[in-house]
Amino acid sequence: MSFKTELWNNALEYLEDELSDFVFKEYFETSITPLAYENDTFFLQVPDEGNKILLEGQYAVLVENALKYYTQRYIKVKFVVASSNDMVYSENEAIDEIAAAEPKPSVEYNVYNTSYIQFNPKYTFDSFVVGPNNRFAHAASLAVADAPAKKYNPLFIYGGVGLGKTHLMHAIAQHILRKDPTKKVVLLSSEQFLNEFLDAIQNKTNVQFRNKYRNADVLLIDDIQFIAGKNETQNEFFHTFNALQGSNKQIILTSDKPPKEIPHLEDRLRSRFSLGLICDISMPDFETRLAILRKKAKEENYQVSNEILNYIAENIESNIRELEGLLLKVMALNEFYNKPLTLDLVKKQLKDIIDISDKKISMDLITKVVCDYYNISKADILSKRRTKNIAFPRQISMYLSRELTDSSLPAIGDYYGGRDHSTVIHGYDKIKEELKTNGTLEEEIKKITLEIKNSK
């Protein structure tokens, strides 16, 4: 397969996700032929002048973004109309036009990066919505991106599926390359690392494999937990880790669990993963979920009411991907009905996805019920105030958050005013001890818990 064909096929994969089925099939999938690539200009043949005008006016930037996604460099797109006698416009003719094409400055990324990286251009620090659940991880990522290998090395980010770990990885890599395009940055999943390692063994290309990773300035590996239990891969990564750290190069890893909780991970890797900074990303609270939906709607130019956005944010608590997926479904409904959606219609259409009776307990819900019970505001309970009438309900909220949710101690601390996890432990232990001797408190906790479960 020629380079121009491979480049266009990769771009089509990106475009298929960004365009409606009709537009993709009608104007892209079979109507465009890649002609030539020269001097950062990609010539694409289209069937007629009408297609050319449409594509140049509405889709040229999107195509250039697709090409940049796979090459990590700016590539100018030029649409060329097939000749009137239906003869295919030749590659030589296309190249002849390059001299007349106005040059456009581009960032010359290191070849090392263009060969190995496929960034998602949407995953930047600007597009990342910061909330109590991810503030620490975001700040640490930005610090590492600003000064690789100067702070927090390795940086280890853990959390559940679809909470933003991969977004931060791509944001870090792209931020580093914008500041210094000569940096050798490698970003991949642990599965890719494993597959390349096995290929290297099979093809006897171990030296090239090791050079690729051990000569990097920044190595980012997503879902590192998947190398656990694979002894040869763990051994290879152990030596890669040591080589990079010994050369003062930056390492960034993500996982679904902190190092100490990853099963079948070698102790020597567990200890090395814990050498730098470990930070978690937990489930977003209501306000963060709503902010994510609003930002996504604005980015995609979706016209959707606050009432519907609130409904989605209230009922999808698991992860960001589900949030955005549900918003996409709502907008598909909007196109189908071709009229503004009402909340009742959305509820009816999404009843199989949003099951209120099976809704999980959240820290938002716990806080609301506790605040109502003790007649204080949410702002009070999240504040730094330490008066007894505020501090005691806060400790009860922390206790119930640990008992009734899967949230980690740092996540609970972040939610309740950015407190340290040791504060959460203290509050939890205090309520737990008092429950052993205080019958009144026990009854209060029972009433609050019942109200929480009935309010799901």
Q: For the CA atoms of 140, 272, 200, 255, what is the dihedral angle to 10 degrees?
A: -50
Give φ, ψ of 189 to 5 degrees. Answer: -90, 160
Q: Quote the CA–CA distance of 2 and 6 in Å, as a whole number.
A: 6
Q: Where are the alpha helices (DSSP H) in 78-122?
A: 91-98, 111-116
Q: Supply the DSSP symbol for 226.
A: G
Q: Quote the CA–CA distance of 226 and 192 in Å, as a whole number.
A: 11
Residues pairing with 440 in the sheet: none
Q: Supply the DSSP symbol for 130.
A: P
Q: Quote the CA–CA distance of 400 and 445 in Å, as a whole number.
A: 8
Q: Supply the DSSP symbol for 29.
A: I
Q: Quote the CA–CA distance of 400 and 451 in Å, as a whole number.
A: 12
Q: Quote the CA–CA distance of 380 and 346 in Å, as a whole number.
A: 34
Q: Quote the CA–CA distance of 78 and 65 in Å, as a whole number.
A: 14
For residues 216-251, b (16+ Cβ closer than 10 Å) or e, as one string?
bbbbbbbbbbbbbebeebbebbeebbebbbeeebbb
Q: Are 361 and 404 in contact, with CB atoms under 8 Å apart?
A: yes
Q: Quote the CA–CA distance of 116 and 111 in Å, as a whole number.
A: 9
Residues pairing with 158 in the sheet: 255, 280
Q: Supply the DSSP symbol for 58.
A: I
Q: What is the CA radius of gyration of the chain?
A: 26
Q: Are 137 and 277 in contact, with CB atoms under 8 Å apart?
A: no
Residues contributing to the annotated binding site for ATP = 162, 164-166
- Cβ-based neighbour number of residue 388 at 10 Å: 7
Beta-strand (E) ranges in 47-181? 76-81, 155-159
Residues contributing to the annotated binding site = 162, 164-166
